[in-house]
Amino acid sequence: MKATQTLHELGQSLWLDNITRGLLTSGTLQRYIHDFSVTGLTSNPTIFDHAIRNSSDYDDAIRKKTKEGKTGEALFFELAIDDLRAAADLFRPTYDLTNGVDGWVSLEVSPQLATDTAGSLAAAKSLHALAERPNLFIKIPGTKEGVPAIEEAIFSGVPINVTLLFSRDQYVAAAEAYLRGIERRIAAGLNPDVRSVASLFVSRWDVAIAEKAPAELRNQLGVAIARQTYASYRTLLDAPRWQRIFNAGARAQRLLFASTGTKDPKASDTLYVEALAAPFTINTIPEATLKALADHGTIPAPLPTHVDDEFSRFTKAGIDIAALGSRLQTEGAAAFVKSWKDLIDCIGTKSKALKAA
């Protein structure tokens, strides 16, 4: 049995961390669904920038939409939603079969809204309505300003993928925002079945300390953070407040492990996926890692639901975990803004070139 199927049998969803028009039109995504047990996907500005910049697959659509007067962000979102609708339709049988637990795709609000609560909420509502697919998450970053937008979006009935979470504390803040939104729906007599996932970024921890950590600690901090966060996730699900909303008809916000491609060329190419096997979670996995996992991955015992302190050894090495988690979120938000600007510039350049041709 392939390791991808083993994870599926364990109860962990594998979502592809990529989307391109070529993946959709070539039948490759459908093959991943059939052969590698892929049950969803995520997107972000960097993914779309690479997809549009490095292929001609979008040229006809850009030419057509430019003639219709579309430019900039509006043009991008139409391109992205076209792709994500097609992907959502491929995953719709999984969504229906699992009663909405699985089979999702994700679209991010503009990263420039990361510190704009009202703007994030308005964009989330607008994009979800525009997409017209029930199995599409809107991604809102779990920044200080994003947390209230997450609560309000959930209360409004918009399914949310909370992105840019790097620590247990950031995860707990996002989980509590989801919980408050659902509790408010119950109090208002609204259907509490609004889905959400919380995306914890893993590998960037190890990239951040690669030059500082001693050899024996290399490529271990990200997994330690994930283990700690998973233990808190399982504890939260057993807490009385969560049990009450489940009893009222709500479903759990699922924990998602993101950024799980190995960045260190000296480490195993399936390092993070193998280390983070856990039931009732999701792993978003780059294409290269997905293929490596199917080819030669092995799945050990699943993550424990309780962990002892794993961080004293990092503290002794001079690593401030709390400060680093905050820094990573800030840097991650800034990196997505840069990718967003690059993406919009790319679309503008392509539009001009195609118009001139």
Residue 186 and residue 250 in contact, taking contact as beta carbons nearer than 8 Å? yes
Q: What is the Cα–Cα distance from 323 to 328, expressed in whole angstroms?
A: 9
Two structure tokens written together for 50: 């690479």
Residues 6+ apart with CB under 8 A from 304: 227, 231
**Phi, psi (rounded to 5 degrees) for 256:** -120, 130
Residues 6+ apart with CB under 8 A from 144: 115
Number of other residues whose CB lies within 10 A of the CB of residue 191: 11
Residue 258 and residue 234 in contact, taking contact as beta carbons nearer than 8 Å? no
- Catalytic (active site) residue 139: yes
Please tell me whether residue 137 adopts helix, strand or coil conformation: strand
Q: What is the Cα–Cα distance from 178 to 174, expressed in whole angstroms?
A: 6
Sheet holding 105-108, edge to edge: 38-41, 12-16, 281-285, 254-258, 196-201, 160-165, 136-141, 105-108
Please tell me the total number of residues recorded for the chain in this structure.
Answer: 357
Q: What is the Cα–Cα distance from 304 to 7, expressed in whole angstroms?
A: 15
**DSSP symbols for 23-61:** HHHTSHHHHHHHHH-EEEE---HHHHHHHHHT-STTHHH
Question: C-alpha 81: how far from its chain's center?
Answer: 16
Check 65, 70, 139, 350 and give the catalytic one: 139
Residues 6+ apart with CB under 8 A from 220: 206
Residues belonging to the active site: 139
